[in-house]
Amino acid sequence: MDNEARLILVPTPIGNLQDITYRAVEALKTADIILAEDTRVSSKLLKHLEIDKRLSAHHKFNEHKTATSIVSKIEQGNVVALISDAGTPAISDPGFLLVRACVEKNIKVECLPGPTALIPALAVSGLPTDKFVFEGFLPQKKGRQTRLKLLAEEPRTMIFYESPYRLVKALGQFAEYFGANRKACVCRELSKMFEEVKRGTVTELGEYYTERQPKGEIVIVVEGKA
Ligand code: SAM
């Protein structure tokens, strides 16, 4: 990997440590500075990869403040790698503000291809993959209903991140706003030992998870409006 000063977004595994790429390992080994969302989480990954480097914290509570100083470190010639707890940085994770700050200063930004939860979920769903929208997390309270009303008209396949505690509520709301027979796919614990992919209508899936309290990490893929 060359040492041209830049920001590199480095995707990390979403469950299975074997999903780290050769290029990601190389980028972490050679970066001058590694920024991590949670240094405790990422230090375990670095230990596993036998990379002995100090991590600097870059998370949603400090990313507004630190962008300027990171930009100046890259301007001084450093290669800065950014990782989040899992998956691709800037995808429902810190990163966007830093990328934007770099773009504004004409600093080179690179994102290595790699793990992210939304793409395997979409690919395995059995729902159309030619056009899709990534909605990330729905607002928990304010704005949730407005978003759902708007999405009721969405013709493309929709992808949501959701916590296990709100899965049944979300499926119930999809039935209410999108129709009881709308098809969906719930992907739980992708790439992990207890991976589960469940397909059905939003009503069937709601019933299934009402009987079995879900655990772990979840992506919901929902068919668009016909
Ligand atoms: N940056 C990550 C990415 O590229 O996918 C997303 C981070 S976001 C804070 C975490 C959410 O991603 C989880 O709540 C879940 O919705 C989804 N997720 C992450 N890992 C997952 C997995 N192994 N299986 C299913 N969903 C996962």
Domain that holds residue 150: 118-222
**Whole-number Å distance between alpha carbons of 198 and 101:** 40
Other C-beta atoms within 10 Å of 124: how many? 17
β 33-36/196-201 pair status:
unpaired
Residues at CB less than 6 angstroms from ligand 1: 14-15, 84, 86-88, 91-93, 116-118, 161-162, 187, 189-192, 217-219
End of a domain among 111, 143, 160?
A: 111
**Whole-number Å distance between alpha carbons of 101 and 72:** 10
17 C-alpha to ligand 1 centroid (Å): 15
pLDDT in tens, 152-201: 999 999 999 999 999 999 999 999 999 999 999 999 999 999 999 999 99
End of a domain among 70, 89, 111?
A: 111
9 C-alpha to ligand 1 centroid (Å): 16
8 C-alpha to ligand 1 centroid (Å): 20
Residue 21's alpha-carbon distances to 10, 25, 26, 52, 89, in angstroms, are: 9, 6, 9, 18, 15
Range with lowest mean pLDDT among 20-24, 139-143, 197-201: 139-143
pLDDT in tens, 75-104: 999 999 999 999 999 999 999 999 999 999
Domain containing residue 144: CATH number: 3.30.950.10
